[in-house]
């Protein structure tokens, strides 16, 4: 045999280099997958049932108040262009609304997801950097300057802030009783605490000196909530909710929660009235405005789809396992166990 | 070129040291021993008194033997000190070209006399000066004009078939992208048009109103291209390169493709076509050195019409431990078959001669010789000048004949008391010993050179002494025996009746002992004096010189002017060499003109191919004037030659001619003129050679065995089973080729063998048509079983065609029917083809039949073919490195081809095909998510996934597992692939990757992306979900989907698979989580801060991920399961078989 040193080029004879690593080599065949199909099927049916029942237990009340319809009380507001036009939506709850009730407004055919809508905002302003108060980013164009005064907050996103307001009244024996709303904690805590920051200037108004309010806004940013001084500027909850862009053209946005001690168990059955201050124009793009009352569960809002999907797929898996059983019985390989 | 007397390199007066790059044409360069020549030099002066310079051309052509170069003859530069200052001639050379073996020019002296020179005066750049103290030359070509640089045209770019197909699919992807962008643009336009007035959520232009919808749509087209461009899998190309690197790593690290003998691995010289190895349909193989070892062994000879069978050489392997002498016996007892009409070499203008015929059953024993496996002791031999290879055991009777003829007294250059016939015996061996260009070097210098030389050759040096010792030890006994029994044994074995099959088991036994005796006596001689090494240009020559040595005719030294021999009785004789007519492929012969030292007779010895020599023999009338019946000699020699050829031996004929002084002088003058000619010098030289090489007297013929390489028949059988058509293209004659064909199972017994040999085009055409008709009938008669079509004929058909006929068949009007015929043949043997024809055949088959071709060869004559084929494989054998340099892969021996194709080819192809398909699928699936989202964002080009996560997705999260899949997945084990060569067919039929598979993958990708988009969509629609909260589960779903898709495709899960898959999942979550936790406002407008964290806290996220992945993969999973069970492919069957095998193997 040749000497060792003569075999300098000899490749290493290892399992790796010789491609002989121990391997698990499953062969997908009917016999093997039957238990898998059965297990997945059963599990999915279980999950599906749970989801479906949960979804059914969630109550949702939606009321369109766009006012396209002449019979609607908001028709007047929508057809004329009066600011702060007030209209009402009356409804009756036949059963009690369980748990904490969330009050949403919903817009349809509204494209917050448009690329330029999302881009048209100055994050440096919104994180409280006052140097950008005097010179907003160019992405805000054409809502960068009002004449020559810089707009704060600049951009389309802020400018298009939803400005309808709502009040919910319970009608008890002919008298109206205000259902107090809780406007705190409706925005993401990360937005409220980290992402959006007011300038570290007190009073807040001073920071906005030399800036203009967005064109569409009736009031500047530091006066958004007159009742609560801490709910102003860029950390205003309504503002934060609006600035978080909706993914789809038909969306809800959380307006308030009902946390009042009187209604802690939910809204009792009875007659209610929603007082709407109608400002936001949606007719121009065939949009729709709605108010939504809903309670939530662990799976979020009401959505029967997922439960049904789980049930269907689960059943399909069971069917597949039966098909596979037949196939297996007829075509099995000798090594299938 | 005007010579100027600038001095070049230094050493000695007037020379100074220069860099290579500073060497210019016209410089004088002095090179000392063992230095590398810096430019193409015209040799003017050497330290050798004879004006000879030895060079080693290994770096140019890989040949390790020394070559002689001479100073320009007629130039008196050799005397004393060469002074460049006094060299005042004009040197003219031809234009720089890349032909290594061709060079011509002349020196014009001051008296207008021209001196011609050629290759033998050229020192090419890159070679090394050996055995010559110093040498001085004149630079004729420098730099890029040198022969070696002109030959270095860099690797040819070959693109693999798979990649070509893939490129088409990439174009489809571009088309798809175009349509998707068009849809986006149109959608945007329609969406804008449908808006009654300017909505709140749109950004007005500077004038306060929107751009016209048409313009916006137009812009949107380009926005969409930017958004969706990931559809075009640029990453695929990068990944393919990485995968190929990995695949090649595994190929070159395969221990089975490592050759211990030469300490060489398989080399992948082309990095971009490993997957083509898995799709080969046609193999074109050289014969010599590829199928055969190119280690020539002198096997038989025929002298003066008498056959000497040299049985002992055949028995040798059995002495070394391989007991197969019974088979050998069978071969030699077999009486010669009657010569076949199909082999008619002369004019065969009658169609019948060219008629195809059915081959009868051949005795199987004729293939027995391939079993002569090299045993351990001979494994280490690299060069053919090593002792065991060249050991020739003389035929007892012939030796006795030679010795007895030499027994007379040596008087006046004649062995007195000998007949004319025995004189011719001596002439025969003289011719063997001198009619060549073998250089004799002593072992010491050879060793020293080899140590300085390549590693490979130094290897043989370590080997040789040990072997010698061992041989000496084991044979001590027989030496002792022969010292006592030499004389008696010869006498007792005298057998006057020589028949072609003289061997009996009795004689065979004795001759073994006798043979070893003589071997040892020569061995003993050579060890007492410095050991001789014969440096031959071709192994045949070495084998012949060794054969002559075995009979006592030892070549001692050779210079251009003289050759010294030791005769059997110890006399040393120095012949004057008057001229050497070198071998060339057109003449197919070489001659040496000698002057006998004592008789002063001028004798020419010629050796060459039988058909050229036979044509040049004396006509019968002249022969009759001589004593003896030469006609009979020629006839019986021809018979022997035919017989040798049938046994696969290489034959050479030897002849002599005695020249008169005048005749030679006349000829010599013409020769000088021819040598000095600059234009058509070659033709003139050939013509003068032709004038001399006539009216020869036949001496005899030799048969040299060219052994089959290891496992060649097995390999060929496996390749044929794998559905590959194997063609053998050789320069040899049809008889030899067919014999090798049978020996290596290219042809099987019972095959229908069609032979075509004609010089007439009409005949060729009719033969072709006739053969084609017969083949068609043959297929039809195969009955309903032959439904497989031409791919699966019941009986396979072999075609044997010679160079002439091939040339005719390749003409444009016959080529179609030739290919039609060749396509239906399982094996085609092309004989007597030129290198150019080889490449023409390869190109033709590749282009006209649209098949994948592989060419394998080892010599310079295979270079064209190797470059023409889709895959070129060079065998790093003995015929130099040119084939290897031109090849895409180089292997050490033919048997490695089996694993290279069947295992690595299959793996590489399948892996790469699957990976490519997977990449297309992956990109389309992912990008389509973005596309579907455009329907919900007004076709505005919004991405619901953070742009960095989008980039990371392809770059980090889903890139490594497919690459690992492409490098390491093993669908079927190597053992299975080698055991079932049929599995190779999946690659040939492009079953791993075709357009159907591509489009199915595309459909699947569309389906999966729809599922991945719309399940989350329906789940989250009508809620307060924000854009990136919507995108995050979608991204995760797509990730899992793509991963599990790969998991379905992976056939074997090794540790590496698990690690990469799990690591990818971990990386995905870690990177996404960290990025979401860190990026507060780093990447406006997306800012994914805390989104995935928020999502992962909700059960809905997981529920969506699970169901989406299941729904998306259910169809593919079910399809795989059902197809594996209902219609299992051969590969699936093999995997089942493998699993079944494992417990059996374990037991």
Per residue in B1050-1092, pLDDT tens?
999 999 999 999 999 999 999 999 999 988 877 777 678 888 9
CA neighbor of B948 nearest in space, from B825, B1047, B1054, B1085? B1085
**Residue B369 annotated as part of some ligand binding site:** no
Burial B206-237 (b: 16+ CB within 10 A, else e): eeeebeebeebbeebbebbbebbebbbbebbe
Residues B205, A305: C-beta atoms closer than 8 Å? no
The whole-angstrom distance between A221's CA and the closest CA on chain B is: 19
B909 in Cβ contact with B917 (< 8 Å):
no
Run of H or E including B415: strand B414-415
The whole-angstrom separation of Cα B972 and Cα B1129 is: 12
Work out how many domains chain A is built from and give that number: 1
The whole-angstrom separation of Cα B85 and Cα A86 is: 117
Residues of B in contact with A287 (CB under 8 A): 199
- The pair of three-digit structure tokens given for residue A25, joined into one six-digit string: 């080599």
- End-to-end CA distance of chain A: give it in Å, rounded: 48
Active-site annotation holder among B61, B276, B286, B540: B286
Q: What are phi and psi of B296, to 5 degrees?
A: -80, 135
Residues A7, B1121: C-beta atoms closer than 8 Å? no
Contacts of B602 (CB under 8 A, 6+ apart): B578, B593, B594, B595, B596, B658, B659, B660, B661, B664
The whole-angstrom distance between B169's CA and the closest CA on chain A is: 29
Contacts of B554 (CB under 8 A, 6+ apart): B433, B522, B532, B548, B565, B566
DSSP 3-state of B546: helix
Report residues of chain B scoring pLDDT below 70.
1-13, 58-65, 76-81, 98, 151-156, 206-208, 294, 311-392, 403-422, 441-532, 537-539, 585-586, 619-631, 648, 781-795, 877-880, 1086, 1141-1147
The whole-angstrom separation of Cα B348 and Cα B341 is: 10
- DSSP bridge partners of B108: B90, B114
B296 in Cβ contact with B705 (< 8 Å):
yes
Contacts of B321 (CB under 8 A, 6+ apart): B375
On whether any CB of chain A is under 8 Å from the CB of B1122, the answer is yes
Q: What are phi and psi of B555, to 5 degrees?
A: -75, 120
On whether any CB of chain A is under 8 Å from the CB of B153, the answer is no
Q: Is B946 a catalytic residue?
A: no
B 311-370: CB under 8 A from A? none
Q: Has residue A257 been placed in a domain?
A: yes
Q: Which of B199, B258, B1111 sits opposite A313 (nearest CB)?
A: B1111
Burial A220-247 (b: 16+ CB within 10 A, else e): bbbbbbeeeeebbbbbbbbbbbbbbbbb
Mean pLDDT of all residues in A100-104: 93
> What does the pLDDT read at residue B208?
67
Q: Which of B941, B1031, B1100 sits opposite A300 (nearest CB)?
A: B1100
Q: Has residue A10 been placed in a domain?
A: no
Taking phi first (over 0 means left), then psi (-120 to 50 degrees means alpha), and beta for anything else, what does residue B697 get?
Answer: beta
- The pair of three-digit structure tokens given for residue A18, joined into one six-digit string: 């010789």
CA neighbor of B140 nearest in space, from B44, B57, B18? B44
The whole-angstrom separation of Cα B838 and Cα B867 is: 11
Residue A337 binned pLDDT confidence (cut-offs 50, 70, 90): very low
Which pairing describes strands B104-108 and B114-118: parallel, antiparallel, or unpaired?
antiparallel
Run of H or E including B622: helix B620-625
pLDDT in tens, A209-254: 889 999 889 889 998 988 888 898 899 999 999 999 999 999 999 9
Q: What number of other Cβ atoms are within 10 A of residue B461's Cβ? A: 19
Instruction: Give the predicted TM-score (pTM) of the model.
Output: 0.76
Q: What number of other Cβ atoms are within 10 A of residue A144's Cβ? A: 17
**Residue B748 annotated as part of some ligand binding site:** no
> What does the pLDDT read at residue A167?
93
DSSP 3-state of B554: strand
Residues A285, B1021: C-beta atoms closer than 8 Å? no
DSSP B385: T
Taking phi first (over 0 means left), then psi (-120 to 50 degrees means alpha), and beta for anything else, what does residue B295 get?
Answer: beta
What's the length of chain B? 1147
Start-end of H helices in B48-110: 58-61
Q: Has residue A55 been placed in a domain?
A: no
Burial B1048-1074 (b: 16+ CB within 10 A, else e): ebbbbbbebbeebbeebeeebeebbee
The whole-angstrom distance between A84's CA and the closest CA on chain B is: 18
Q: Has residue A337 been placed in a domain?
A: no
Q: Has residue A51 been placed in a domain?
A: no
**Residue B30 annotated as part of some ligand binding site:** no
Q: Has residue A112 been placed in a domain?
A: yes
DSSP 3-state of B771: helix
DSSP 3-state of B110: coil
What is chain A's mean pLDDT, rounded?
88
Half-sphere exposure of B749 (CA within 13 A, CB side): 8
Residues A299, B1100: C-beta atoms closer than 8 Å? yes
Number of CB pairs, chain A paired with chain B, less than 8 A apart: 276
Q: What number of other Cβ atoms are within 10 A of residue B2's Cβ? A: 9
Q: What are phi and psi of B440, to 5 degrees?
A: -100, 125
Q: Has residue A2 been placed in a domain?
A: no
DSSP 3-state of B555: strand
The whole-angstrom separation of Cα B915 and Cα B243 is: 9
**Residue B583 annotated as part of some ligand binding site:** yes
In Å, the largest CA–CA distance within chain A is: 111
- The pair of three-digit structure tokens given for residue B797, joined into one six-digit string: 């058909």
- The pair of three-digit structure tokens given for residue B130, joined into one six-digit string: 């050996």
Q: Nearest residue on chain B to A20, judged by CA atoms?
A: B973
Positive or negative, the CA dihedral A310, A313, A315, A321 is negative
The whole-angstrom separation of Cα B135 and Cα A258 is: 107
DSSP 3-state of B1052: coil
Run of H or E including B42: strand B40-46
CA neighbor of B281 nearest in space, from B1112, B1006, B974, B985? B985
B1008 in Cβ contact with B1112 (< 8 Å):
yes
Residues A25, B1135: C-beta atoms closer than 8 Å? yes
Taking phi first (over 0 means left), then psi (-120 to 50 degrees means alpha), and beta for anything else, what does residue B336 get?
Answer: beta
Q: What are phi and psi of B683, to 5 degrees?
A: -65, -40
DSSP B95: P
Integer CA distances (angstroms), B866 to A255, B351, B1052, in order? 77, 35, 35
A154-168, A264-278, B725-739: which range is least confident on average? B725-739
Relative orientation angle of helices B396-405 and B505-528, to the nearest 10 degrees: 60
Q: Which residue has the tokens 């999950």?
A: A47
- Is residue B1012 packed enough to be buried (19+ CB in 10 Å), middle (13-18) or exposed (0-12)? buried
Dihedral, CA atoms, B778, B779, B783, B787, nearest 10 degrees? 180
Q: Has residue A312 been placed in a domain?
A: no
Task: Give me the domain span that covers residue A107.
Answer: 82-295
Q: Which of B199, B258, B1100 sits opposite A10 (nearest CB)?
A: B258
The whole-angstrom separation of Cα A144 and Cα A155 is: 6
Per-state percent for chain B, helix, strand, coil, to nearest 5: 50, 15, 30
The whole-angstrom separation of Cα B615 and Cα B653 is: 11
CA neighbor of B9 nearest in space, from B138, B117, B150, B100? B138
**Residue B861 annotated as part of some ligand binding site:** yes
Residues of B in contact with A285 (CB under 8 A): 195-197, 199-201
């Amino acid at each position: 045999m040749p000497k060792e040193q003569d075999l300098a080029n000899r490749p290493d004879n290892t399992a790796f280099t010789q491609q002989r690593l121990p391997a698990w080599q499953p062969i997908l065949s009917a016999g093997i997958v039957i238990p898998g199909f059965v297990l997945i099927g059963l599990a999915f049916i279980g999950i599906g049932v749970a989801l479906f029942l949960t979804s059914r237990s969630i109550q949702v009340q939606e009321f369109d108040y766009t006012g396209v319809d002449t019979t609607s009380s908001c028709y007047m507001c929508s057809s004329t262009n009066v600011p702060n036009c007030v209209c009402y939506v009356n409804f009756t709850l036949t059963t009690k609304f369980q748990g904490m009730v969330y009050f949403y407004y919903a817009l349809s055919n509204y494209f917050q997801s448009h690329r330029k809508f999302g881009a048209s905002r100055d994050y440096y302003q919104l994180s409280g950097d006052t140097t950008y108060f005097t010179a907003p980013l160019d992405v805000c164009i054409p809502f960068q300057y009002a004449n020559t005064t810089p707009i704060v907050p600049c951009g389309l996103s802020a400018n298009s802030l939803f400005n309808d307001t709502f009040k919910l009244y319970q009608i008890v024996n002919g008298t109206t009783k205000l259902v107090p709303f809780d406007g705190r904690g409706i925005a993401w805590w990360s937005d409220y605490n980290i992402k959006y920051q007011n300038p570290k200037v007190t009073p807040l108004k001073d920071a906005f000196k030399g800036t203009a309010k967005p064109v569409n806004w009736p009031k500047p940013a530091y006066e958004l909530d007159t009742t609560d001084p801490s709910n102003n500027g860029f950390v205003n909850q309504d503002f934060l909710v609006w600035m978080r862009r909706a993914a789809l053209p038909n969306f809800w946005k959380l307006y308030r929660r009902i946390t009042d001690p009187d209604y802690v168990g939910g809204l009792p059955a009875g007659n209610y009235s929603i007082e709407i201050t109608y400002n936001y124009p949606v007719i121009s793009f065939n949009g729709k405005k709605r108010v939504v009352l809903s309670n939530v569960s662990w799976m979020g809002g009401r959505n029967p789809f997922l439960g049904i999907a789980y049930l269907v797929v689960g059943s399909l898996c069971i069917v597949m396992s039966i098909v596979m059983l037949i196939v297996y019985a007829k075509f099995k390989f000798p090594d299938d166990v | 070129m005007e010579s100027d007397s600038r001095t070049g390199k230094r050493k000695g007066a007037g020379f100074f040291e220069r860099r290579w790059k500073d060497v210019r044409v016209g410089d004088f360069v002095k090179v000392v021993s063992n230095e590398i020549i810096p430019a193409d030099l015209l040799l003017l002066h050497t330290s050798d008194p004879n004006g000879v310079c030895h060079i080693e051309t290994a770096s140019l052509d890989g040949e390790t033997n020394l070559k002689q170069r001479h100073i320009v003859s007629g130039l008196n530069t050799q005397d004393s000190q060469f002074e460049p200052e006094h060299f005042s001639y004009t040197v003219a050379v031809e234009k720089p070209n890349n032909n290594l073996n061709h060079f011509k020019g002349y020196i014009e002296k001051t008296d207008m006399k021209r001196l011609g020179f050629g290759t033998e005066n050229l020192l090419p750049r890159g070679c090394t000066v050996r055995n010559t103290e110093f040498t001085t030359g004149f630079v004729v070509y420098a730099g890029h004009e040198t022969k070696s640089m002109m030959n270095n045209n860099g690797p040819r770019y070959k693109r693999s078939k798979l990649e070509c197909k893939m490129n088409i699919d990439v174009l489809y992807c571009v088309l798809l992208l175009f349509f998707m962008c068009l849809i986006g643009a149109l959608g945007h336009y329609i969406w804008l048009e449908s808006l009654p007035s300017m909505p709140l959520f749109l950004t007005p232009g500077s004038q306060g109103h929107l751009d016209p919808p048409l313009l916006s749509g137009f812009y949107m087209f380009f926005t969409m291209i930017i958004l969706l461009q990931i559809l075009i899998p640029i990453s695929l190309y990068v990944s393919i390169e990485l995968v190929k690197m990995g695949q090649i790593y595994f190929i070159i690290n395969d221990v089975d493709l490592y050759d211990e003998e030469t300490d060489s691995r398989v080399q992948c010289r082309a990095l971009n076509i490993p997957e083509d190895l898995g799709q080969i349909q046609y193999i074109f193989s050289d014969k010599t050195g590829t199928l055969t070892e190119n280690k020539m062994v002198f096997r038989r000879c025929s002298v003066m019409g008498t056959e000497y069978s040299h049985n002992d050489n055949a028995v040798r392997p059995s002495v070394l431990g391989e007991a197969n002498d019974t088979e050998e016996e069978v071969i030699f007892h077999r009486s010669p078959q009657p010569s076949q009409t199909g082999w008619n070499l002369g004019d065969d203008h009658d169609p019948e001669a060219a008629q195809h015929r059915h081959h009868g059953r051949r005795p199987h024993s004729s293939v027995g010789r391939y079993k002569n496996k090299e045993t351990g002791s001979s494994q280490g031999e690299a060069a053919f000048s090593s002792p065991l290879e060249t050991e020739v055991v003389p035929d007892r009777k012939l030796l006795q004949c030679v010795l007895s003829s030499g027994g007379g007294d040596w008087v006046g250059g004649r062995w007195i008391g000998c007949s004319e016939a025995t004189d011719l015996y001596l002439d025969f061996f003289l011719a063997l010993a001198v009619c060549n260009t073998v250089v004799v070097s002593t072992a010491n210098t050879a060793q020293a050179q080899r140590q300085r030389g390549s590693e490979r050759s130094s290897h043989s040096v370590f080997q040789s002494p040990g072997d010698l010792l061992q041989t000496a030890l084991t044979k001590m006994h027989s030496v002792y025996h022969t010292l006592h029994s030499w004389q008696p044994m010869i006498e007792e074995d005298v057998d006057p009746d020589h028949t072609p099959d003289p061997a009996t088991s009795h004689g065979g036994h004795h001759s073994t002992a006798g043979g070893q005796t003589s071997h040892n006596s020569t061995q003993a001689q050579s060890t007492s004096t410095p050991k001789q090494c014969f440096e031959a240009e071709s192994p045949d020559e070495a084998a012949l010189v060794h054969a002559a040595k075995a009979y006592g005719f030892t070549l001692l030294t050779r210079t251009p002017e003289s050759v010294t021999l030791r005769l059997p009785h110890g006399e040393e004789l120095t012949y004057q060499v008057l001229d050497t007519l070198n071998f060339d492929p057109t003449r197919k012969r070489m001659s040496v003109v000698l002057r006998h030292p004592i008789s002063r007779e001028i004798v020419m010895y010629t050796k060459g191919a039988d058909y050229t020599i036979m044509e040049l023999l004396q006509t019968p009338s002249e022969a009759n004037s001589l004593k003896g019946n030469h006609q009979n000699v020629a006839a019986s020699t021809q018979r022997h030659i035919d017989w040798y050829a049938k046994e696969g031996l290489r034959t050479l004929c030897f002849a002599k001619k005695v020249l008169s002084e005048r005749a030679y002088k006349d000829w010599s003058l013409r020769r000088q003129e021819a040598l000095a000619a600059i234009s058509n010098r070659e033709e003139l030289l050939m013509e003068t050679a032709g004038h001399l090489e006539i009216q020869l007297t036949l001496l005899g013929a030799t048969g040299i065995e060219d052994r089959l390489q290891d496992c060649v028949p097995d390999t060929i059988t496996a390749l044929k089973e794998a559905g590959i058509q194997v063609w053998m293209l050789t320069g040899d004659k049809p008889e030899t080729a067919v014999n090798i064909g049978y020996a290596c199972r290219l042809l099987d017994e019972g095959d229908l063998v069609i032979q075509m040999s004609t010089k007439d085009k009409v005949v060729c055409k009719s033969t072709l048509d006739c053969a084609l008709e017969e083949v068609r009938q043959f297929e039809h008669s195969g009955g309903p079983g032959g439904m497989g079509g031409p791919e699966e004929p019941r009986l396979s058909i072999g075609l044997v065609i010679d160079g002439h006929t091939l040339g005719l068949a390749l003409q444009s009007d016959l080529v179609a029917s030739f290919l039609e015929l060749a396509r239906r043949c399982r094996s085609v043997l092309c004989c007597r083809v030129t290198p150019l024809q080889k490449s023409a055949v390869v190109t033709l088959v590749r282009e006209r039949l649209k098949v994948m071709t592989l060419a394998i060869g080892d010599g310079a004559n295979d270079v064209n073919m190797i470059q023409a084929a889709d895959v070129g494989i060079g065998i790093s054998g003995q015929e130099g490195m040119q084939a290897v340099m031109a090849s895409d892969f180089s292997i050490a021996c033919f048997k490695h081809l089996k694993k290279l194709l069947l295992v690595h080819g299959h793996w590489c192809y399948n892996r790469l095909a699957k990976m490519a398909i997977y990449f297309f699928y992956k990109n389309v699936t992912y990008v389509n998510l973005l596309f579907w989202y455009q329907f919900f964002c007004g076709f505005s080009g919004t991405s619901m996934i953070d742009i960095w996560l989008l980039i990371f997705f392809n770059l980090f999260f889903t890139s490594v597992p497919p690459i690992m899949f492409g490098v390491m997945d093993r669908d079927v084990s190597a053992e299975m692939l080698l055991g079932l060569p049929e599995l190779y067919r999946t690659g040939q039929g492009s079953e791993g990757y075709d357009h159907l598979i591509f489009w199915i993958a595309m459909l699947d990708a569309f389906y999966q992306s729809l599922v991945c988009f719309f399940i989350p969509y329906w789940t989250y629609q009508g809620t307060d979900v924000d854009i990136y909260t919507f995108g995050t589960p979608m991204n995760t779903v797509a990730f899992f989907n793509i991963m599990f898709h790969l998991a379905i495709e992976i056939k074997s899960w090794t540790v590496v698979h698990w690690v990469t898959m799990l690591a990818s999942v971990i990386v995905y979550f870690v990177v996404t989580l960290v990025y979401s936790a860190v990026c507060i406002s780093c990447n406006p407008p997306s800012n994914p801060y805390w989104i995935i964290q928020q999502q992962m806290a909700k059960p809905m996220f997981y529920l969506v991920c699970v169901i989406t992945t299941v729904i998306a993969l259910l169809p593919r999973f079910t399809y795989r399961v059902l197809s594996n069970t209902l219609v299992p492919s051969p590969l699936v069957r093999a995997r089942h078989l493998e699993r079944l095998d494992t417990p059996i193997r374990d037991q």
